[in-house]
Structure 1
C-alpha cells in the first residue's frame, strides 16, 4: 500500500478535469483526542488552505520548495483512528517531488513548511485529500478504503529534502 497515497493522488488530480472537490462534510477540528491523545495539549498551526499541524520535533535540515525531492515516512489514519496506509509496511519512505501533484494537495501545501528531520501530526481536510471521490478498495470495489469527503490524519517524518 506504500504507493496508495502517490497513485491515488495522481488519479484524483487527473480525474474529471474542471471539477472542484466537494466541501468536506467531516468536522474541520483535529481528530478526536481519544484517538490521538498525545497531540491534545498542543496548539495546531494552520496553513492557508486549512491543513492543521503540530510539530512533535522540528527538524534543522533543508526546507522543501516546489520541485524539491523529498523522502517522507508516514502513517495515515481515518478520523476514527484506523490506519489506512503506512510506509512501515514497505520498510522505506515514499519519495516524490513537492508541488507537482504527485501526492495529495494537503501534503504539497504542508511540506514546504517542514524542514528535513521534522516530525508532525497533520489534519488534512477532505478537499485537500481525496474529496468527494474517496478511495475504493481495489479488492472490493463496493467498499472504500477512504470514504468520500473524509478528512485524514497523518503522522509524517520528513527524512530528506533535495
Structure 2
C-alpha cells in the first residue's frame, strides 16, 4: 500500500510542480547543484557533465543506442531521486516498475522534460535538477504529516535515471 501511495504521490507531485512552474512563468535561475556536500553528487567530480539550456546538469553513465525521444514520445524510466543531503526520496524499485509518461507534455517536472529529449533509450544518466525545474518554492508536503516535507522547498535534486524504452 505504501509503495502504491508513494508512486501516486510522486506522479501527482511531478505533474503539479510542472504545472505550477508553467503557470508562474518564472525563468530558471542560474544552475545549481545540491547544496550539501555529498560524496558522488558533486558535479565537479564529473568533468564530463553537460548542461542544458535551462541549467540541468547531467552525465552519461552509459550511453544507449536506442531511439532518441521527441516531444510527445512515450517513455519508460527507472529512477532513484535523492535530496541534496543524499537521502532517497523516491525510487521506482520500491514502486513496482518504471514510470511511464509522454516527454515534453508537462506530465513530469520541467527538468525531466528537457533532459529526456537528450537521452536515447538504453541510457543511464545522473542528473542534477535545479529547484526551479523540480518542485520550486512549494516543495512536496508529506501527505501523512502536513508539518513535514518529503521534498523541502527550494531543493535541488539528484536523479539516477535509466531510459528503459521510447516509443
Common fold by TM > 0.5: yes
| Structure 2, unaligned runs of 5 or more | 1-5
C-alpha root-mean-square deviation of aligned residues, in Å? 2.5
Aligned length: 161
Q: 1:94 to 1:57 in 2, by over 3 A?
A: same
Assess if the C-alpha contact under 8 Å between 2:18 and 2:135 holds in 1.
Answer: no
Partner SS, residue 103 of structure 1: coil
Match of 2:96 in 1: 91
Match of 1:10 in 2: 15
Q: Decide which moves more: 89-98 or 3-12.
A: 3-12
**Which consecutive aligned stretches of 4+ in structure 1 deviate over 6 angstroms post-superposition?**
22-25
Partner SS, residue 2 of structure 1: helix
Match of 2:60 in 1: 55
Q: How far 1:52 moved relative to its partner?
A: 0.1
Match of 2:145 in 1: 140
Assess if the C-alpha contact under 8 Å between 1:21 and 1:132 holds in 2.
Answer: no
Q: How far 1:53 moved relative to its partner?
A: 0.2
Determine if the alignment matches structure 1 residue 35 to structure 2 residue 7.
no
Matching residue within 71, 79, 82 for 1:77: 82
Match of 1:105 in 2: 110
Q: How far 1:38 moved relative to its partner?
A: 9.5
Q: How far 1:34 moved relative to its partner?
A: 3.7
| Structure 1, unaligned runs of 5 or more | none
Q: Decide which moves more: 8-17 or 98-107.
A: 8-17
Q: How far 1:109 moved relative to its partner?
A: 0.3
Q: TM-score scaled to structure 1, two decimals?
A: 0.88
Distance (whole Å) between structure 2 residues aligned to residue 142 and residue 130 of structure 1: 17
Question: 1:108-146 CA deviation, whole Å, 9 max, x = no partner?
Answer: 000010000000000000000000110000000111111
Partner SS, residue 113 of structure 1: coil
